[in-house]
Chains A and B, each alone.
Chain A
Amino acid sequence: MIRSAAFVAILAASGLYAQNASIIVPRTADGKPDFSGTYEWPKASSGERCKCSATVFDRNLMAPLKPGGEPFFEKPNGDPRHDEPRNFCMPAGFPSGMLSANAVQFVQSKNDLVIVHEFQRMTRVIPLDGRPHRKGLEPMYLGDPVGHWEGDTLVIETNNFKRWGLDDYYYSDRNQYRMHSDALTVTEHISWKDAKTLAYRLTIDDPKIFTRAWSEDFTMAAKPEWDATGLYEYVCEENNRCPGGKCPAP
């Protein structure tokens, strides 16, 4: 990451988000907004709250389910590998993992943005060099992201997902897993909202589930003090004593 020596004021609103002309944001050597740093996980100012620490999507913002989209609300089946796969150190996936309540570090260069989430050390490497999505991949927990700039907004489109949990809502209602399909495309819009906050929009387009794409806006607060500590290690397999709720005797 190369950060320009001087901070440059945004002189005109551009991209998806109208930005305050007085905002001063860090920029890379090639003039793009520089998001490098450590942040809190995305949070919404209003909407549905989870009986957990993670952010969850607001049901009121979701598009209606289409006929055949009912598997979105999958129920538990008593198999812990199905009902709580993370209990076996399976990944939270994206976007669910992005919404978990941990530190998130962005490392940006001209050709890549690397997003590392402290929870499960979820790492996404997002090409910014204009390449298309890869072809012929197996469905993935984190999908296949590519990014491009629209003015001062970074737009990341991710597809090629494995069917998996959309968010952590099942902590609130064990009968609603909110499973996205393998047709999911997630689009992120990232820009500076102010000098200490990122605007972070997630657009969910899942044509097997919803009648149309829908979006929710979040913010991510910059945490310079977390830059100082750095991310902590998270190796789930290190001492996962009770997979599936079965613990050895003390």
Chain B
Amino acid sequence: MKIRPLPLLLAIASLSALPLLAHHSFAAEYDDSKPVQVSGVVTRVEWQNPHIWFYVDSKDESGKVTHWAFSGGAPGQLMRRGIYKDVIQPGMMVHVDGYRAKDGSNNANGAKVTFPDGRMVFTASAEDKIPEGKK
């Protein structure tokens, strides 16, 4: 796993110190009454505007795979927070805390990503609701 420790620390430390503008309204797209917690493997990352998207395949106990897509901040916004493209890459195991899209699909706001070693990175825009707690 390729992780830049300093950017991760900066990302955690600067979440409130360097607020950023969302392109969308969280309330317009996501339902804060529907938190989701997904563990799985990252299959694809789109480091593009207006928001990054990363895709996670989650496997249940029966082996059934569910595909999820998580939205984060804009690439430039994240880079000013010290979060670069290599922080999250295909093949990484992640646990994602977020909120499901209002349309009920498996799209969600991916507010907080936790790696197997316990480190966290906040990928959300500042307007997005951040789940409480570590997991």
Contact = CB atoms under 8 A, between A and B. Distances in A.
A233 B21 contact: no
Given A239-B46, A241-B53, A87 B76 contact: no
Contacts of B126: 52-53, 101
Interface string A95-116: 0000011110000000000000
Contacts, number: 106
Contacts of A52: 19, 21-22, 126-127
Contacts of A229: 79-80
Contacts of B28: 80, 83-84, 87, 245
Contacts of B125: 53
Interface stretch (B3-11, B86-94, B98-106, B114-122): B98-106
Contacts of A53: 19-22, 125-127
Contacts of A80: 28
Interface of A (DSSP majority class): loop
Interface in B21-71: 21-25, 27-29, 46, 48-51, 53, 55, 67-69, 71
B24 A87 contact: yes
B88 to A, nearest CB: 16
A238 B49 contact: yes
Nearest to A234: B49
B77 interface: yes
Given A53-B126, A246-B103, A234 B74 contact: yes
A101 B73 CA distance: 13
**Contact-size category for B:** 35 or more
A167 to B, nearest CB: 12
A7 interface: no
A54 interface: yes
A250 interface: yes
B123 interface: no
Given A53-B126, A232-B75, A236-B49, A242 B21 contact: no
B48 A232 contact: no
Given A233-B49, A247-B69, A249-B105, A102 B75 contact: no
A240 B53 CA distance: 10
B44 to A, nearest CB: 9
A139 B74 CA distance: 29
A235 interface: yes
A101 B127 CA distance: 11
A124 interface: no
Q: Give me the 3 closest cross-chain CB pairs, A-B, nearest first.
A: A232-B76, A53-B19, A250-B69
Interface of B: 19-25, 27-29, 46, 48-51, 53, 55, 67-69, 71, 74-77, 79-80, 101-103, 105-107, 125-127
